[in-house]
């Protein structure tokens, strides 16, 4: 019984989890997260939403083990591929930009191309004079800079490559913020397909993406204010429902 109790209380080596986690940045009176409980289930597609500054990126960094909580316990996602909101843009060839997702994995160019294809990024190669060998920086001879959206796809391909190399969990903080709405939907569909059976933690501001999740967690005021499926949260008529209404009316407005 005691072993069972321990496994319930302590987030172990498995899925990422926060147990009564509080975290604040030095020099700020108000903590960003207050006794947050969030356990990700194996194979779950979890979306985290919240207004700017709600603490979503802070939560991702805790799960990734980059920050230590002031109190509570974090089950860090050691087995995760993480795409941070401020993802890395290496001034290296495209091949290396993807392969750095799992440097020790002896992936071939076919594996690199498969990862790029998984996030709908193969057309990117058309603008690169030396294919996968093209340095992604104009400061190199024959190098090319990428657009924000193209960089984002490269960062996602890097994570897909890491999954192919054996990581089980994918955590993505606004994976598609630089992409237009239609591209985001396409990329996300592919990503869902490609990560079937794996655990996915997704931060997004777009409900077209979020609504597909098994569970949606709404962060507000430093805590999990609401959680449930899309339909459930709409029926609840709270923050999520208001946010959904606002986005729907904005989209209707732009389509007029
Ligand atoms: N390095 C830092 N030092 C001090 N304060 C920070 C730092 N990073 C974030 N904060 C503050 O912590 C709060 C939560 O920030 P966080 O980046 O986690 O929010 P977020 O939900 O990811 O927002 P967004 O939707 O804009 O990405 C904000 O008030 C922010 O100003
Ligand atoms: Mg953020």
In a domain, 1, yes or no: no
Which ligand sits nearest to residue 49's alpha carbon?
1
Q: What is the pLDDT of residue 8?
A: 44
Residue 248 pLDDT: 83
Domain-embedded: residue 3: no
Give 106 or 58, the one with higher predicted confidence.
58
pLDDT at 145 over 90: yes
pLDDT at 189: 85
pLDDT at 174: 85
- Using CA of residue 88, residue 171, residue 194, residue 182, what is the dihedral sign? negative
Same domain, 68 and 173: yes
Q: Which residue has the higher pLDDT, 182 or 118?
A: 118
Shared domain check, 236 and 203: yes
User: Measured between alpha carbons, how far is 89 from 68 in angstroms, rounded to an integer?
Assistant: 26
Regarding whether 173 and 74 lie in a shared domain, the answer is yes
Q: Establish if 110 belongs to a structural domain.
A: yes
Total tally of structural domains belonging to the chain: 2
The pLDDT of residue 59 = 96
Select from 27, 49, 53 the residue to mutate for testing ligand 1; criterion: most ligand atoms less than 8 Å from CB: 53
- The pLDDT, as a whole number, for residue 175 is 67
| 59 alpha carbon – ligand 2 mean position (Å) | 9
pLDDT above 90 coverage of the chain, percent: 70
pLDDT single digits (tens) 232-245 = 999 999 999 999 99
Task: Give residue 147's Cα distance to chain centre.
Answer: 20
Task: Considering every ligand atom shown, identify the ligand nearest to the alpha carbon of residue 205 and give its number.
Answer: 1
Query: What is the whole-number distance in angstroms between the Cα of residue 93 and the centre of ligand 2?
Result: 28
Q: Establish if 9 belongs to a structural domain.
A: no
131: in domain: yes
Alpha-carbon distance 54 to 143, whole Å?
38
The mean pLDDT of the chain is 89
Is residue 178 predicted with pLDDT exceeding 90?
no
Residue 52 CB–ligand 1 contact under 6 Å: yes
- Find the mean pLDDT for residues 16-42: 95
Q: Are residues 148 and 184 both part of a single domain?
A: no
Q: How far is the CA of 114 from the centre of ligand 2 (A)?
A: 28
26 lines ligand 1 (CB under 6 A): no
State pLDDT tens for residues 43-99: 999 999 999 999 999 999 999 999 999 999 998 877 899 999 989 999 999 999 999
- Alpha-carbon distance of 60 to 200, in angstroms, equals 12
**If pLDDT is split at 50, 70 and 90, which confidence band does 254 have?**
low
Q: Are residues 28 and 52 in the same domain?
A: yes
pLDDT at 4: 45
φ/ψ of residue 76, rounded to 5: -75, 150
pLDDT the model gives residue 164 = 92
With a 6 A CB cut-off, is 63 part of the ligand 1 pocket?
no
State whether the beta carbon of 140 lies less than 6 angstroms from ligand 1. no
Higher pLDDT, 90 or 1: 90
Atom of ligand 1 nearest to the CA of 219: 21
Q: What is the pLDDT of residue 125?
A: 96
Let me know if residue 235 belongs to a domain.
Answer: yes
Check if 54 has its Cβ closer than 6 Å to any atom of ligand 1.
yes
Average pLDDT on 181-207 reads 86
What is the per-residue burial (b if ≥16 Cβ within 10 Å, else e) of 1-28?
A: eeeeeeeeeebeebbbbbbebbbbeeee
Q: What pLDDT score does 6 carry?
A: 42
- Same domain assignment for residues 128 and 227: no
For residue 233, the enclosing domain spans 15-80+168-255
């Amino acid at each position: 019984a005691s072993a069972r109790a321990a496994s319930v209380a302590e987030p172990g080596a498995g899925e990422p989890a926060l147990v009564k986690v509080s975290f604040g940045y030095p020099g700020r009176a108000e903590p960003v997260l207050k006794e947050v409980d969030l356990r990700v289930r194996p194979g779950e597609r979890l979306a985290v939403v919240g207004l700017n500054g709600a603490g979503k990126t802070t939560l991702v960094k805790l799960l990734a083990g980059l920050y230590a909580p002031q109190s509570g316990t974090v089950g860090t996602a050691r087995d995760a591929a993480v795409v941070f909101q401020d993802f890395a843009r290496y001034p290296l060839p495209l091949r290396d930009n993807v392969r750095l997702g799992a440097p020790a994995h002896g992936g071939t160019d076919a594996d690199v191309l498969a990862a790029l294809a998984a996030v709908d990024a193969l057309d990117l190669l058309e603008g690169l004079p030396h294919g996968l060998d093209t340095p992604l920086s104009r400061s190199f001879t024959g190098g090319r800079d990428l657009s924000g959206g193209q960089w984002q796809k490269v960062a996602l391909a890097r994570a897909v490559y890491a999954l192919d190399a054996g990581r089980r969990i994918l955590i993505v903080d606004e994976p598609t913020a630089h992409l237009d709405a239609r591209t985001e939907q396409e990329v996300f569909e592919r990503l869902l397909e490609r990560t079937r059976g794996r655990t996915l933690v997704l931060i997004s501001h777009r409900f077209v993406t979020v609504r597909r999740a098994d569970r949606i967690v709404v962060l507000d005021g430093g805590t999990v204010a609401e959680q449930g499926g899309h339909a459930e949260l709409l029926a609840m008529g709270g923050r999520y429902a208001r946010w959904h209404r606002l986005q729907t009316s904005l989209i209707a407005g732009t389509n007029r």
